[in-house]
Structure 1
Amino acid sequence: MKTTLFDTAVTRSYGTCLPVVAGGLMWLSDADYVAAAARAGIISFITAASFPDPDVLRAEIRRCRSLCDGASFGVNVSMLPKLVPGEKTADVFRLIADEGVRFVETSGRNPEEYMSILKDAGITVLHKVPSVRYAVKAQSIGVDMVAIVGAECGGHPGLDMIGTMVNSATAAERLTIPYLIGGGIGHGSQIVAALSMGAAGVVMGTRFLVAQELNAHADYKARMIEATERDTQLIMQSVRNTVRALANETTANVARIEQNNPAVTIHDLLPHVSGQHGRNAYATGDTSHGVLSAGHALAFVDQVQPMAQIIDRLSDEASAALTRLTALQSAVPYQESA
């Protein structure tokens, strides 16, 4: 059994050994990946949007449960920023509740209209937001925890583009519910830093893109290892849907379209940014095309390893950071010089 290095609201709520959440990854967070995280001592979430057929999603949840050996796992439900005709979000939440899933990660828009479904089922709700002001709103509608994912993150950093350090400190001043910090987090020392600033844990995504259990092509993982924190690009700011992704032909092309066409719309960009392009990259290893979410934590991605070994490294790094911090403490009262 793994030793619990920290005792926080995250480790207590999820029964994990480290206060780390492996956030849901579109097309990638399947039962194999999520169960590997669970067995390694953290929690992750199946991305419901990766399994649009309800029967397939139900089967994936059941497969995950069988692989988790009793450890905690959840389901991510990423909602579009605005309700659209024919949206099946409520049905997805009912399916999750019906399957007895205990933990849900929500993102995209305010989940208030679905909270009764989740709370009636006794589900713990972690809502992901891009800055503290949205976390305050989520707190007011009754979510259990919030994950605040800053400008350095892969995927959607929001419109405010507030950095992780500022999010960490301001959240402690403005929130009463437990919160997690994400965005550029991929080293154990950052876990200690986040906890010292008031967080109950951290969210990681990019760091786990080279997990052995992640069902992505070996060439895709090799590109993640080759890339550095300098190899990401922000696109889609012009349509108020900012994305940080691996810099490639697609991001360069989208950036040119945005620069040359001030009146560009999301419909103009869809042929280039469709999620199917990304899904193809994960399957084929061709990373030159597709919007492949990746954040500044590429700095810490250095080799393919089983999830359990990545978690062990994070734990060792966190322990070393604690030792350094303890060594800086002084038992001698400070006295001003005369």
Structure 2
Amino acid sequence: MKKFNCSIFLIYTFAFCCYSQLSQDFETRIEESGLDLSYPLGCRRTKDHEVVWLHEGKAIALGNNIFNNDIRFAIETPYDLDRNLMIKNLKPDDAGRYQCKEYPDSNGSIIADYLLRLRAKASIPVSSDSRVNVLENDEVRLWCNATGLPVPKITWYAIESNNQQEFIKDIGVKGRMLGISNVSRYCSTTFQCQASNKYKETYPVYKNITLDVKFLPDVQIKVRVNGTNFLVADTISSNRAEQIELVCDVFANPLTKITWYRDKTTIGHYSAGESSPIKNDKDKTNYLYTLTNIQTNTKEPRYWSFPLVFQADGQYTSGKYWCEVTNEVGSSRKYVQIMQN
């Protein structure tokens, strides 16, 4: 079973729409992409001046003449002084600020000022990478930038699993940013940000972001003699010819290398990516030891077990055994003393 378990904090963010400066009396028009304007953008010239239409500060029409050679644009003049701008088959690039100004006029007096916005389905064009690495106890921020009109609402979920079935859990965070402080190893999970604005929407759009928490290995040695139950102890006494099995249990992310030692002698090691353990060929007593393949846990891939098996044989096998595990965060080790009765 995998569950979300970490400390989140709220990050308040503000979105700023950057349009050229709007006049105090501007009008917002919300229209449908792919359709015509529901009615023209109105403008009426004065008797002394013609008008120029601007889109995001760029002239697109003077008087009755359209500059951009786009047949979707037209100046309509139901009355002599009218210079109304009509746009058909609206496209996303048509959104923005439209101004009708007197021409020529050194002051550039604004007659009409509009902000044209087009309804759009929710989308998440940019977000955190699909996989984010962080060290345990650090702070991390995951983010999703959603666009659309109406403005999408963003909700964060954690993907959990139970009996090999995945489901999503609402973690109570809304907005473009998810912050996690003092990240623990138990925060390693896949988060999902969903964006929804109910416009032409069957399901919310989403992005999955996997948080990979790297941490110092936890190591434990368990021991059993002649196939009895495993136990954890600092010292084990055995009789000659008894079979000793030491298992190095590791919880680490990532796992780089596990090494078994007897006193100062290296017995053998396993490195991540290798098909099997490798013995120390320089150790003349390595024939006494059997290094079995790494055992893994399919439900929790960060758990590893590295068994070492041998028969008690007096001075050759008595001593301090230790297992050392290293990764990019650091190294950890555990010891057990094997004594012969």
Give me the TM-score of the superposition, normalised by structure 2: 0.19
Please say which structure displays the higher CA radius of gyration. 2
More strand by share: 2
Greater relative contact order, per chain length (Cα 8 Å cut-off, separation 6+)? 1
More helix by share: 1
Give me the TM-score of the superposition, normalised by structure 1: 0.19
